[in-house]
Structure 1
Amino acid sequence: MECPECGGERLTFTVPSELRADVPDRPSSILLCTRCLAFEPVENPDVEPSNFATISDALPDEPDAAAGMVLATALLSSLALYRQHVDALFDRVEAAGVDPLLVLDRLAADPNLDPNFDIESRRRQLLQLRD
């Protein structure tokens, strides 16, 4: 399926049940663009869900940590609106033993990702907000 934002490929991903409370609208599944990270909730997808780790080699190997990291990064497009969600997802990623700010650095350097926001700028904002 093609992304209406950038023309990239959109895949279906299952949102782990323990992360749903930290995602707007608490979706069970999402359609996520593997290039710009734009996503939308989708219920009862027709296809087998993908693994979040397929989006980038920069993501953690642990599936729930990778899911939390992708969801938090996608929500950075509207940090002011979704700050509480981003904080909660980053807390879960940290609890899994992963440094989310380091992963953001690596995602910013990934040539296959092209979100509609500057990951590095959002990372700096997060540093200020999370101190």
Structure 2
Amino acid sequence: MTEVEALQAAIAGEHAALYGVGVAGGKLSGARFRAATTLYERHRSRRDQLAALLVESGQTPAAAEPAYDLPQPVTNAATAAALILGIERRLTAVYGDLVEAAEQDRTRAFAVQALIATARDQLGWGGRPAAFPGQV
């Protein structure tokens, strides 16, 4: 996988994450809703950073899909939290790929920070610590 391919996969993952966290947020309230809102903002920021990295390398960032198939119905707070946990797990693997494929120091530094953030966010949504986050 090239750096550009990994960047495109990461931005596609962030687009999907924004959709999924938005859906999940509709089933949450109180502190969990606030946590999902904060998470949504972090995903939006990373999406924008990925777009900038792609544009700087002369590429057109992948566009978001109009909608995404969710892996399970989101009907309550528990299924919403499970969806968010699944999103963070998938993104951790995507960012692990980007760390591996990164050729530019700036891209690698961004990918490492995103990998750490998604691994940390998993813990907040019911995940367990992993020795090597992002390893599939």
Q: Give TM-score, length-normalised by structure 1.
A: 0.39
Larger helix fraction of residues:
2
Q: Higher relative contact order by CA 8 Å / sep ≥ 6: 1 or 2?
A: 2
Q: Give TM-score, length-normalised by structure 2.
A: 0.37
Higher Cα Rg, which structure: 2
Larger strand fraction of residues:
1
